Amino acid sequence: MIKNLSALDDGPVSVSGWVDTVRDQKKVQFVVLRDESGAVQLVNPRTTDADGVVVADEPATSISGLAQGTFVTVTGQLKHDERVKLGGIEIKLSTLTVVSAAIPETPIAADSSLDKRMDWRFLDLRNPRQNLIFRIQTTFEHALRTYWIEHDFIELHTPKLMASASESRAELFEVGYFDTKAYLAQSPQFFKQMAQSAGFGKIFEVGPAFRADPSFTSRHATEFTSVDSEISWIDSHDDVMTLHEDLMVAGFTAVQIKHGDEVKALFDVEVTVPSTPFPRIPLAEAKEIVKSRGYEVPRDDDDMDPEGERQIAAYVAEKYGHEFVFLTDYASSIRPFYHMRHDGDASITKSYDLIFNGTEISTGAQREHRIEVLEAQAVEKGLDPKEIEGYLDFFRYGVPSHGGFGMGLARVLMLMLHQASIREVTYLFRGPTRLEP
């Protein structure tokens, strides 16, 4: 790999990569060679005759015609020279072999629109910044998984084809299923709760979720990776928040240790491991706080709108120096039927949203496990209990108190790396007008 070259002593080397640029000068040729780890400069002094005229020679002739993106293998002499801007090393070429030629007209450039870059995602992903994003994703997921396994969680793979909705009916993809129809899972919600009734106690799943959401915001996709966890024997949603923050600390610690320097170099972003506990602010109080800062969440809005989320994040950053905040106790009117409501005040739920750098990344809650209450809440939300009969059965045979959360993986990465859209951090984005590549 190119990034490993600088650790080698001067001497013969062999390396492969994509041709990035060719500078064809009279007496010397410079080629910048890239791979996913970095770039290196190749030099090829040209052979000239007594009058300074270039004599046709190899590899000079073939170098002149190399198109950007051509994949080559070269051999040569590595030399450390601090005057070389690109990493302080260069390779004096001995041989150059074209492994796979590229068409000369590259369809995208550094300033291409995001949409155009997504059309040509495999070329876009060659950029070391993009490559790093998916290394970070791997490290983050691995750290979460390690935490779960060390704490005795069971990993589940729940079905993505379902007979009913798993969240609201509004964002449901319907698919033909033999002589009937099925729905794509909007979340593993029902099945992770089923696991609690099955005695699995502590579970997690990292898998696809589908939402027929027609919006074109920077944080919505029609298919996204959902990070889910669910635990039994809890006292309240506070226990879920504690698990959630421990997981974030595990993930951010691993990313900081493994990629902190690269993130600083390529994104100019500091990866900070959050301190625990994260600030926890009831939603009603958060609304008062943002109001005192001059922003009033629209009156008829039981939720916190995106501007409100940004405002409360700014307050938390100033007051606690924290990038995360749990907003708790959302109104029952805007939460799903399965969220438990507070004893003594049924208008608010034992739920939370986790806000990171001003945007929601997660929703969690204690679940209602008392069947009569659960059924009544479902009816109140306009659901027909017969349609969710199978789900309701989980609560008819003895089920522990439990709760959990769902978190959008791409949102975490987008906000961690200060990217403008989840499209940048999703390997292949799916949206209302994008089904390819």
**How far is Cα of residue 235 from the mean position of the Cα atoms in its chain?**
31
CA distance 425 to 408: 12
Give me the sheet containing 161-162, strands edge to edge.
Answer: 161-162, 180-184, 174-177
* 221 touches ligand AMO (CB under 6 A): yes
- Smallest separation, CB 316 to ligand AMO (Å): 18
* Nearer CB in complex with ligand AMO: 91/248: 248
CA distance 58 to 141: 48
CA distance 147 to 142: 9
CB 2 within 8 A of CB 17: yes
CA-based torsion, 373, 284, 277, 247: positive or negative: positive
Q: How far is CA 411 from CA 212, 250, 314, in A?
A: 18, 17, 18
| Backbone dihedral angles phi then psi of residue 309, each to the nearest 5 degrees | -60, -40
- Smallest separation, CB 220 to ligand AMO (Å): 4
Binding mask of the shown chain, residues 16 to 55, with x at each position contacting ligand AMO by CB under 6 A: ----------------------------------------
Tokens standing for residue 355: 């806000």
Contact pick of 405, 416, 424, 425 for ligand AMO (by CB under 6 A): 405
- Smallest separation, CB 328 to ligand AMO (Å): 13
* Nearer CB in complex with ligand AMO: 34/423: 423
Residue 28 exposure: Cα atoms within 13 Å on the Cβ side: 10
DSSP structural state of residue 219: T
* Nearer CB in complex with ligand AMO: 5/361: 361
Q: Which of 87, 83, 77, 93 is nearest to 28 (CA)?
A: 93
Q: Where are the alpha helices (DSSP H) in 165-305?
A: 189-197, 237-267, 283-292
Q: How far is CA 129 from CA 69, 266, 419, 436, in A?
A: 17, 6, 11, 22
Contact pick of 213, 238, 239, 387 for ligand AMO (by CB under 6 A): 213
**How far is Cα of residue 240 from the mean position of the Cα atoms in its chain?**
21
Judged by CB under 6 A, the chain residues 346 through 365 that form the site for ligand AMO are 360-365
CB 161 within 8 A of CB 175: yes
- Smallest separation, CB 363 to ligand AMO (Å): 3
* Residue 167, marked binder: yes
- Smallest separation, CB 408 to ligand AMO (Å): 3
CB 427 within 8 A of CB 208: no
* Residue 170, marked binder: no
CA distance 140 to 412: 10
* Residue 363, marked binder: yes
Tokens standing for residue 280: 């926890």
The stretch near ligand AMO (CB under 6 A) out of 58-66, 247-255, 326-334, 402-410 is 402-410
CA distance 85 to 257: 27
* 341 touches ligand AMO (CB under 6 A): no
* Residue 367, marked binder: yes
* Nearer CB in complex with ligand AMO: 17/406: 406
CA distance 49 to 389: 88
Contact pick of 38, 358, 404, 431 for ligand AMO (by CB under 6 A): 404
* 237 touches ligand AMO (CB under 6 A): no
- Smallest separation, CB 115 to ligand AMO (Å): 18
| Residue whose C-beta lies closest to ligand AMO | 408
* Nearer CB in complex with ligand AMO: 91/133: 133
Contact pick of 226, 328, 366, 401 for ligand AMO (by CB under 6 A): 226
Q: How many residues bind ligand AMO (CB under 6 A)?
A: 21
Contact pick of 158, 187, 196, 377 for ligand AMO (by CB under 6 A): 187
* Residue 360, marked binder: yes
- Smallest separation, CB 291 to ligand AMO (Å): 24
Binding mask of the shown chain, residues 112 to 151, with x at each position contacting ligand AMO by CB under 6 A: ----------------------------------------
Contact pick of 34, 46, 202, 211 for ligand AMO (by CB under 6 A): 211
Tokens standing for residue 424: 């940048």
Tokens standing for residue 227: 């990070």
Contacting positions for ligand AMO (CB under 6 A): 167, 187, 189, 211, 213, 220-221, 224, 226, 360-365, 404-408, 411
Q: Could you list the residues known to form a binding site for ATP, using ranges.
A: 360, 408-411
Return binding residues for L-aspartate: 167, 211, 363, 367
